[in-house]
Amino acid sequence: MPVEASGERPDVDVVVIGGGVNGAGVARDCTQRGLKVAVFERNDIAFGASGNNSGMIHGGPRYLTYDPDVTYSSCLDSGHIQRIAPHLLFRIPFLMPVHREGRSAKLSLTLLDAFFDLYDKYQPLKHGKPHARLTAEELQQLEPGLAGRTVGGISFDEWGIDGVRLCVGNLVDAAEGGAEVRVHTTVTEILRRDDGAVRGVRYRDLLTGESGVRTGRVVVNATGAWAPITAALGGLSNNQARIRPGKGIHVFFDRRLTNYAIAVRAIDGRQVFLEPWQNMSVIGTTDTDYYGDLDDVVATTAEVRYLVQAVARVFPAILSARAIGTWAGVRPTLYDWGPNPDRLSREHEVVDHTAHGVPGLYSMIGGKLASYRLFSEEMTDAVCKQLGVNERSRTHLTALPGGEELIDPIALAEDAGIEAVAGARLEYRHGARSQRIVERLARSPREASIVCTCEPVLEAEVRYVVEHEWAQTVDDVSRRTRLGLGSCGGMRCAARCGAIVAQMKGRSPLDGQRMALDFLEMAARRRLSVLGPLQARQEALTLASIRAELGSGRSIERPSGVLGPTGYGISSNGSVSGGSGYSGRGTGSGA
């Protein structure tokens, strides 16, 4: 390793701050080009926008009107992501109805048809199907739940993905290439030499209290909405890594309500959607300026009502559907004063802080999940130029872990002796790597037991993500496996998951119970805006009883008779409605 001018031999070439999709992508690209990398994530992998977005690798047809370069780059990278992670992608066909409102409805349909003719030029990049113009009868036949009189509509093609699994795959690949990855570890200072150049970071593990220094030749600030705060650790001002944070929320329901995503207009003219996503339905998204705590972003009741109202106008069944939770994230959009948040550019920018007197420090600003790999490549190009490395990116050619080959989930389930639905979900999350979990079952058949029945999640998978994917809490396991995100809201599985994690990490059973309670309390906060009053009171009583058990030092037993479903839909008369069900893998049917 080269010796710095100060005589200090750095620990690594590149320190990456942030475990979202951009930081994970940079870590992978740098290791593939032969650089030594250390990654620090203060919370958990994909804690921010990367794990709380719309779950789509989409081209974004609306960007064509004001930011066509974003549409191009998103579609281009979508094709690359499908190549390197084929197990994670699933098709989401969209319907866009045009209602009979005013005399210009037919003209609107014709113009919309012409607009999608232009979007079709980008479809080959992302292997999408061309759009189709539909009559009112064809639209109704495809989705009988559509309400209102229409003159027809448009169908177009997009792709869904689990953003957390995408981040995990990139970091696993980086680690297998030699990168050091630390989660729940905050960077407390960006260290600089006397000449102002970076020399590394000071860090502290938030779970163990361990602290230390990791020296490096380059530091990459890939912390998304936290970018201005992180840049300040190196002595920069907020204006030198400026973003305009925009909050987006989503509401999810316990089952797939339709096989097609439906694009609709909200009361203020913004476009929102209902989409089938994995084994549930999701409505989203808002886009508002955000000035709150970035570590505590939750949906409000007003935001939920805004989305439900918009979808109900076109798809009234949403009013009786069972909402079981929300997620919320903050977009790190490029700063611009004046435009409405949903009109801000989704472009990305590599900021070289040499101009600000801090050579070797870079910030990644903006970007989208759909073009993360391209953004990461551009960032790594800048790093390699500074370090004199001539290797080119290969991240669009080499498969992510699990994407090496496609395997048959039914055969996987038969080999493992588990239910077909458990095999299908396991294969979706881990791809070819799911065979490693099956190998665990051969060594320890007891691990075939199901910890979370809603998803479902096997004990073997819980243990696998703790051993190989840096999961250290129940919340971490949930993020990687979707444990506790189904109808039960974690009430039936969090305690057992906590016990497994505590045992594997050498912690006490009481620590496992506390981890479970932390998860349940946070999950309850995320659900609060979609709960009816009866269920809200019921959940408050349940959590209070668990806290009391912890305070007494007794082990937690799941209460019986008080645990109902954890989320409810909003009915037209304000009453509470429920439901149940599970609909399998949820891979979206083709249009």
pLDDT tens-digit series, residues 451-510: 999 999 999 999 999 999 999 999 999 999 999 999 888 989 999 999 999 999 999 999
Question: What's the pLDDT at 572?
Answer: 34
Structure tokens at 300: 């409000």
In sign, the C-alpha dihedral spanning 298, 303, 309, 311 is negative
Confidence of residue 545 (pLDDT cuts 50, 70, 90): confident
388 φψ region: left (φ > 0), alpha (ψ -120 to 50), beta (else): left
- Mean pLDDT score of the chain, rounded to an integer? 89
- List all residues 6 or more positions away from 101 whose beta carbon is below 8 Å from its beta carbon: none
DSSP 8-state assignment for residue 555: P
Residue 588 pLDDT > 60: no
CB 70 within 8 A of CB 213: no
CB 260 within 8 A of CB 276: yes
Query: Which has the closest alpha carbon to 589: 192, 194, 157?
Result: 157
55 φψ region: left (φ > 0), alpha (ψ -120 to 50), beta (else): left
Task: List Cβ<8 Å contacts ≥24 apart for 209-216.
Answer: 214/11, 214/12, 214/15, 214/38, 214/40, 214/180, 215/8, 215/10, 215/11, 215/12, 215/191, 216/10, 216/11, 216/12, 216/13, 216/14, 216/15, 216/38
SS3 246: strand
d(CA 353, CA 451): 47
For range 556-576, the mean pLDDT: 34
CB 44 within 8 A of CB 321: no
Q: Comparing 12-49+164-242+346-387 with 69-160+244-343, is the CATH topology the same?
A: no
With 0-12 CB in 10 A as exposed, 13-18 as middle and 19+ as buried, what is 1?
exposed
CATH fold of 69-160+244-343 reads: D-Amino Acid Oxidase; Chain A, domain 2 (3.30.9)
d(CA 528, CA 478): 19
CB 365 within 8 A of CB 334: yes
Structure tokens at 218: 């380059």
**What are the Cα distances from residue 196, in Å, to 203, 212, 292, 388?**
19, 21, 32, 20
Question: What's the pLDDT at 8?
Answer: 73
* Per-residue pLDDT tens digits for 400-426: 999 999 999 999 999 999 999 999 999
pTM of the model: 0.91
Least confident of 357-371, 516-530, 549-563: 549-563
Which residue type does 360 have? G
**Phi first, then psi: what are they for 250, rounded to 5°?**
-135, 150
CB 166 within 8 A of CB 20: no
SS (H, E, C) 445-492: HHHHCEEECCCCEEHHHHHHHHHHCCCCCHHHHHHHHCCCCCCCCCCC
Question: What's the pLDDT at 7?
Answer: 59
SS3 273: strand
Strand partners, 203: 187, 212
361 φψ region: left (φ > 0), alpha (ψ -120 to 50), beta (else): beta
Q: How far is CA 540 from the centre of its chain?
A: 28
d(CA 505, CA 114): 58
Cis peptide preceding 509, ω within 30 of 0:
no
Residue 558 pLDDT > 80: no
Question: What's the pLDDT at 61?
Answer: 82
CATH fold of 12-49+164-242+346-387 reads: FAD/NAD(P)-binding domain (3.50.50)
Question: What's the pLDDT at 523?
Answer: 92
Least confident of 42-56, 499-513, 538-552, 569-583: 569-583
Confidence of residue 341 (pLDDT cuts 50, 70, 90): confident
For range 356-381, the mean pLDDT: 96
Instruction: Enumerate the domain spans of the chain.
Output: 12-49+164-242+346-387, 69-160+244-343, 449-557
Confidence of residue 554 (pLDDT cuts 50, 70, 90): low
Question: What's the pLDDT at 547?
Answer: 79
